[in-house]
Structure 1
Amino acid sequence: MTLGLTLRSAQGRWTSNASRGCSHGSLGLFVPASPPLDPEKVKELQRFITLSKRLLVMTGAGVSTESGIPDYRSEGVGLYARTDRRPIQHRDFVQSAPVRQRYWARNFVGWPRFASHQPNPAHWALSNWERLGKLYWLVTQNVDALHTKAGSRRLTELHGCMHRVLCLNCGEQTARGVLQGRFEMLNPTWSAEAHGLAPDGDVFLTEEEVQSFQVPSCARCGGPLKPDVTFFGDTVNHDKVDFVHKRVREADSLLVVGSSVQVYSSYRFILTAQEKKLPIAILNIGPTRSDHLACLKLDSRCGELLPLIDPR
């Protein structure tokens, strides 16, 4: 399963076929199969939400697959199942200029399509829950800004956001869209064709395409630039972790949405909820690391089920 896209300069302006990756027909490509909705399970989740007064929701990649963004672990459709590619490691990115060049070349090609993705009914439902006072806090492992696009404000982006870029030396923050313009100025004749799309906006290019790509440095100090996200092998900021632990302890229930909770950066909050004896519900297609801790487990599409729940 591949989605092709091309990015090339044409008479001083950049053109792309990236919009093809956002067509309605592609949105289901990355969502694993799930059983039909069970009306009794829907009622159970409704009761869970009705009884919750300070609900904390933790979301993962399974929320965004219905917006056309692939995940890593979903059976049959995740990146691990479809390719032998693996996400970039923090240490490799920080220590190697060629690794950064390869990353940014691929990210440059993938960015127009990645940035164009829009919230799906699951994002809008959670935003509505917040607006109505049901959702106390939202913690997302996703880096796609779709919760923000849907209007969520009581939000912690646990692993950061691809829409921001940081300098590794001085910490200067830049909007990713601004950096795209700098890439275009440095590479006016560069073109590439890629296939596939990774969860963080990465695509797959040949080494020949990568070698001629020019990468800008920090406009403030000349240091190397990195997306404001937690790469694999890195750790989440301690202050952010402490903040989320506090939100969990203030909550009276926890709902996991679209996450297998395989990484410890999210699993530790489930353990905190268990220690506090909070009721835990999980909505995710397929098993999760925390199923044995949940009082309710649902295997359904997030965007299909969440809009059916009345948060009042």
Structure 2
Amino acid sequence: MSTSSTSPDPRSASSRAGLAGPAADVGRWFSTAARAGAPAAATPSARSILRMPAWGPVPGAEYGHLSSEAESAAALELLRGPPVTVLTGAGMSTDSGLPDYRGRDAVPRAPMTYQEFMGSDLSRRRYWARSTVGWEQFRTARPNAAHHLLAQLAPEPLDVTAVITQNVDGLHQEAGSDPVIDLHGRLDRVRCQSCDALSSRAGLHARLLQLNPELAARLPDLARDAARAPDGDAEVDRTSTFRYPPCPLCGGILKPDVVFFGESARREVVADAFAALEVSQALLVLGSSLTVQSGLRFVRAARKADKPVVILGDGPTRGDEHATARLHGRLDVLLRRWAGEA
């Protein structure tokens, strides 16, 4: 893999920290609300960067179905008693105001990849500008009924070994679930890509506002416009002049402590998740489209071990063919039925 002579040098502290002079205006290349059928935008250098397709509702899929109470009861019987591992996805947090990527109301967008973030100063300016706006929505999110109901279902009728979540919002912990394995990390933390030091996202947010007073002045209006975009995907008109700080310990690149598209989850976290699945006798999936391998592998592992897999959610998932039982509907409605039967 090669880079052009005009690509920013990732070893340059001023370049990676975004503290040099304004980069070239990239205009609408930074648009995340991709038009259906539109060609992929070119990258700002010759670097070959993995580009994810724009995500949105599954074309042709049917949403809004509700499984019967008899089907709900039968699915619960598959899970009642023996240890159960729970896997959750973005659909778990939509009622907390955190939009998903594949649900019925999802807005098509192309999330930034790890390769893009690490390979381009322009991309990091874009991410942190939008993330600063999106953080206003994210940090005020609170657990919804589904989070609370899941916590209340343990230890009876569900003997939960762990909640493995693909979400990065910390809402399961706030609702009382324990233990929780944050498969994709936590957005309220920041990790240096050089020295691995962890720091607070809240502290970085304050620093970003200090470095970018013009954006800070517009933040309330921008936050309202970004209310339907996941953190980091909020639309900001111009990002080329945005400034972001380096790691205060080593000068390295700071990145949210979350797994970006194109990046692998931390090995020790994946090991903890599989350990939880190994000691369970069933897998319950809540609100995940299972579009990416990161979550789907647990479904496949459970079926390979001949463990029942129960999937709850609205709309299709990539794991439906592996499901022992498939319940359709809003998570709060389905889980409330189970709480009533407990």
TM-score by length of 2: 0.75
2:76 equivalent among 46, 59, 68: 46
Partner SS for 1:211: coil
The match for 1:304 is 333
Q: How far, CA to CA, are the matches of 1:184 and 1:200 in structure 2? A: 16
1:204 aligns with 2:228: no
The match for 1:224 is 253
Aligned AA (1:213): F
Q: CA RMSD in A?
A: 2.0
The match for 1:3 is none
- C-alpha deviation, 1:245, in angstroms: 1.5
Aligned AA (1:79): V
- C-alpha deviation, 1:185, in angstroms: 2.1
User: Given that residues 114 and 201 in structure 1 are in contact (C-alpha distance below 8 angstroms), is that contact kept between their aligned partners in structure 2?
Assistant: no
1:186 aligns with 2:211: yes
1:259 aligns with 2:284: no
Aligned AA (1:279): P
Aligned AA (1:156): I
Partner SS for 1:74: coil
User: Given that residues 121 and 304 in structure 1 are in contact (C-alpha distance below 8 angstroms), is that contact kept between their aligned partners in structure 2?
Assistant: no
Aligned AA (2:111): P
User: Aligned residues: percent identity?
Assistant: 36
Aligned AA (1:185): Q
The match for 2:169 is 144
2:139 equivalent among 115, 119, 124: 115
User: Given that residues 161 and 229 in structure 1 are in contact (C-alpha distance below 8 angstroms), is that contact kept between their aligned partners in structure 2?
Assistant: yes
User: Given that residues 69 and 337 in structure 2 are in contact (C-alpha distance below 8 angstroms), is that contact kept between their aligned partners in structure 1?
Assistant: no
Gaps of 5+ in 2: 1-56
Aligned AA (1:199): P
Distance change in 2, residues 1:187/1:265 (3 Å): same
Partner SS for 1:56: strand
Partner SS for 2:243: coil
Q: How far, CA to CA, are the matches of 2:211 and 2:90 in structure 1? A: 33
1:87 equivalent among 111, 122, 137: 111
Q: How far, CA to CA, are the matches of 1:104 and 1:57 in structure 2? A: 32
Partner SS for 2:139: helix
**Which is greater in Rg?**
2
Aligned AA (1:153): D
Pairwise mapping of residues 252-291 of structure 1 onto structure 2 (< 5 A)? Answer: 252-291=281-320
Q: How far, CA to CA, are the matches of 2:310 and 2:214 in structure 1? A: 52
Q: How far, CA to CA, are the matches of 2:75 and 2:230 in structure 1? A: 28
Aligned AA (2:182): E
Distance change in 2, residues 1:168/1:67 (3 Å): same
Pairwise mapping of residues 16-95 of structure 1 onto structure 2 (< 5 A)? Answer: 33-36=63-66, 38-50=68-80, 52-75=81-104, 77-80=105-108, 85-95=109-119
- C-alpha deviation, 1:223, in angstroms: 1.4
Q: How far, CA to CA, are the matches of 1:294 and 1:228 in structure 2? A: 31
Aligned AA (1:177): A
Q: How far, CA to CA, are the matches of 1:253 and 1:108 in structure 2? A: 40
Q: How far, CA to CA, are the matches of 1:267 and 1:120 in structure 2? A: 24
Which moves more between the two structures, 254-263 or 214-223?
214-223
Q: How far, CA to CA, are the matches of 2:207 and 2:315 in structure 1? A: 42
TM-score by length of 1: 0.82
1:170 aligns with 2:200: no
- C-alpha deviation, 1:105, in angstroms: 0.8
Partner SS for 1:180: helix
Task: Tell me the matched-pair count.
Answer: 274
Q: How far, CA to CA, are the matches of 2:310 and 2:255 in structure 1? A: 35
Partner SS for 1:216: coil
